[in-house]
Structure 1
Amino acid sequence: MHRYDDPKFQMDMDTIKEKSERNKNWGKWGPDDEWGTINYVGDEERKAAAQLVKRGEVFALGLNFDGDGPQNGLFGGRWNPIHTMLATGTDAVQGKQTVPGKKYPSQYADDAVSLPLQCGTQWDALGHVFNSDKMWNGYDATLVGANGAEKNAIHKMRNKMVGRGVLLDIARWAGVDSLEDGTAIDADDLDACAKAQGVEIRRGDFVIYRTGHMERCLAAGEWGGYAGGDAPGVSFHTCDWMHDMEIAAICADTWGCEVIPNETDDVFQPWHWIVIPQIGITMGEIFYLKDLANDCDADKVYEFMFVAPPLPITRGVGSPINPQAIK
């Protein structure tokens, strides 16, 4: 691990261009592909993942969606969910839920929610990030317009997000409750953590890593700059590892997966520029990992069946989720 401002790891736009070409998977699954590295997960991989269920215990990796979420307006104008009741028990008791043509009123509750699709635990769709005016597989960025994404939309993943999950508990491996903000995780750290845990990362895995950042905020009782501010995360230079390991997806307990401040002053979130549009990796963020991590530490089993279907929001570039790890 290293600090984000370590001169040895500083990079610039030329580095981004170099890594963009080095890690480009465009055309690997044909010119019309909109799944990216999820193509690494097939029927056999899903069947094998189901065999990992031994106890039947389920760990929910999603935050509750409510007004106490992490959004603070630092990025993109995102807000926490606004929950509105359309019909209540009070309405029912007062007999206000009449139905035309019926002698007696109904009794029910109904509600609605307003939320940005990436305000909490979520998937970034392949249409979420662009690099040089292009998105995954070379599609033009203008194909994401006012009506949403014509290509690489989240609804294309409606039956894809099932497979073998692997937890890399970086914080516990490093001997801390939480990595400090600005701490960059190297590829060697990912490999060393996996080796220490006795787990192998395989082609088509859903790799989930824990920094402890979310738990630090929850313990403090306030989110601070969690959403868009300084954070621990993977180094930009892990993009080669993400490509070469042929993983299906990458997920973390932080807002944006990569280290913030970034290892460059040129652009914001440069690792995203490579991982999503060039490699084709679907990214999961804001995962709640405390309970799963404690269980993995107790039984020393860091692999599990992972199930996290997105809401099939037509032409969406992200989706709220409640991922499940089943052991």
Structure 2
Amino acid sequence: MVNADIKVGTSPWGPQDQLGALNHLTAEKSAAILARVDGSKSYDLSIDYFVGMPSFQAAGDPSYQLYMSHTPAGTVVDNLNGVGEAVNRHVCYSGDVVFMYTHTGTHIDSLNHFGVDGQIYNGFTPEENLGSRGWTKAGAETIPPIITRGILLDIAKRHGVECLPDSYAITVEDCKDALDASDVTLEAGDVAFIRTGRMGYWPDGSRVLGNPPGLSLEAARWLTDQGISAIAADQECVEVGPSQHEDNWLPGHCHFLTEAGVPMIELVNLEELSRDGIGEFCLVAAPIRLRGASGAPLRPIAMPLRGQLS
């Protein structure tokens, strides 16, 4: 094992920049990819949220919970609205409450999620920018709607397997081979989607989570060198686990978020895209604007381009 040697990145977009690589998203790029869309089909790349779903409870985070705060029968008994039994039996009212870790299910990591040596991307420090109600810099609310070109790097298919082996470290050559197979190249502002095959086991937590196949640090650095605006994968941390670097237990997170300013999208379902051979697509995605949060649920939608569907 060797040191990762990761440093805090300084934004080329200025000392107050909180977007990082999302600055590569331009109106011109969005318009260009939208102009190529075949609107007859779309792919929902997110997963359902449900009680008992795989989550990070082993790390001490709460499991996803949903409970009813109002039910039709309860409203009749409680009469909290004061309109009486007859009206409350006529108008049936349900309401619920959700409680969860912000990195549950399909979600995006904000740039304040990980830091190095006491700083997050662009040198923001917790002493100046972390209050009792979250970060004042680089939170989930700063992430704009992502409308850009998505590129699928189907690493599992390139290896001829349904799923890569546990702890397989994806190489730069793996990434290049997958791009060659789809006859596409990465361009500035694209979102790269890495398929390991893990989502084929969803929602079996014993097979979806733990010792993930994922990007090596070398592959991560090669991808950010291509100017991607975000990185995504069908497993829980994008990078390979456990870490290959003795000085950092999640070097991929530190590189993408802290060094390169590239948000990370995790637990996306890429099985249908792989099945239909869609290597290039229009991506539309936006997180819930949770002010100051280190991450937020995301619902990415992939739309094929004209001429891709038979």
Could you tell me the TM-score, scaled by structure 1's length? 0.86
Structure-2 separation of matches of 1:267 and 1:230: 16
Alignment check: 8 A CA contact 2:70 2:94 kept: yes
Alignment check: 8 A CA contact 1:78 1:119 kept: no
How far the C-alpha of 1:266 sits from its partner, in A, is 2.7
Q: 1:107 aligns with which of 89, 92, 116?
A: 92
Q: Determine helix, strand or coil for the equivalent of 1:224.
A: helix
How far the C-alpha of 1:241 sits from its partner, in A, is 0.9
Q: What RMSD over aligned residues (CA atoms) do the two structures have, in Å?
A: 2.0
The AA in structure 1 aligned to 2:218 is H
| Map of 2:13 onto structure 1 | 29
Would you say 1:237 and 2:218 are equivalent positions?
yes
Structure-2 separation of matches of 1:96 and 1:107: 13
Structure-2 separation of matches of 1:163 and 1:234: 22
Would you say 1:153 and 2:136 are equivalent positions?
no
The AA in structure 1 aligned to 2:108 is W
- Percent of residue pairs identical: 27
Alignment check: 8 A CA contact 2:175 2:219 kept: no
Describe the superposition over 1:212-255 as per-residue Cα deviations: whole angstroms up to 9, x where unpaired.
1121x33xx6312744x211000011232133100000000010
How far the C-alpha of 1:259 sits from its partner, in A, is 0.5
Mapping for residues 96-135 of structure 1, pairs under 5 Å: 97=79, 99-100=81-82, 104-105=87-88, 106-135=91-120
Structure-2 separation of matches of 1:294 and 1:209: 14
The AA in structure 1 aligned to 2:253 is H
Alignment check: 8 A CA contact 2:243 2:249 kept: yes
The AA in structure 2 aligned to 1:247 is I
Structure-2 separation of matches of 1:246 and 1:233: 20
The AA in structure 1 aligned to 2:70 is A
How far the C-alpha of 1:126 sits from its partner, in A, is 0.4
Structure-2 separation of matches of 1:56 and 1:48: 18
| Map of 1:89 onto structure 2 | 72
Aligned residues: 300
Would you say 1:311 and 2:295 are equivalent positions?
no
Structure-1 separation of matches of 2:170 and 2:24: 25
How far the C-alpha of 1:289 sits from its partner, in A, is 1.4
Alignment check: 8 A CA contact 1:276 1:283 kept: yes
How far the C-alpha of 1:176 sits from its partner, in A, is 0.3
Structure-1 separation of matches of 2:79 and 2:197: 47
49 and 266 in structure 1: CA distance in 2 versus 1, 3 angstrom threshold:
same
Would you say 1:49 and 2:26 are equivalent positions?
no
Return 5+ residue gaps in structure 1 as ranges: 1-9
| Map of 1:137 onto structure 2 | 122
| Map of 1:69 onto structure 2 | 53
| Map of 1:322 onto structure 2 | 299
Mapping for residues 145-294 of structure 1, pairs under 5 Å: 145-157=131-143, 159-215=144-200, 217-218=201-202, 222-224=204-206, 226-227=208-209, 229-294=210-275
How far the C-alpha of 1:38 sits from its partner, in A, is 0.5
Q: Determine helix, strand or coil for the equivalent of 2:97.
A: strand
Structure-2 separation of matches of 1:225 and 1:176: 15
53 and 34 in structure 1: CA distance in 2 versus 1, 3 angstrom threshold:
same
Could you tell me the TM-score, scaled by structure 2's length? 0.90
| Map of 2:308 onto structure 1 | none
Q: Determine helix, strand or coil for the equivalent of 2:206.
A: coil
Q: Determine helix, strand or coil for the equivalent of 2:5.
A: helix
Alignment check: 8 A CA contact 1:130 1:141 kept: no
Alignment check: 8 A CA contact 2:22 2:229 kept: yes
How far the C-alpha of 1:174 sits from its partner, in A, is 1.2
Return 5+ residue gaps in structure 2 as ranges: 305-310
How far the C-alpha of 1:168 sits from its partner, in A, is 1.1
Q: Determine helix, strand or coil for the equivalent of 1:208.
A: strand
Would you say 1:16 and 2:5 are equivalent positions?
yes
Q: Determine helix, strand or coil for the equivalent of 1:164.
A: strand
Which of structure 1's runs of 4+ aligned residues deviate more than 4 A?
94-98
How far the C-alpha of 1:95 sits from its partner, in A, is 6.6
The AA in structure 2 aligned to 1:210 is R
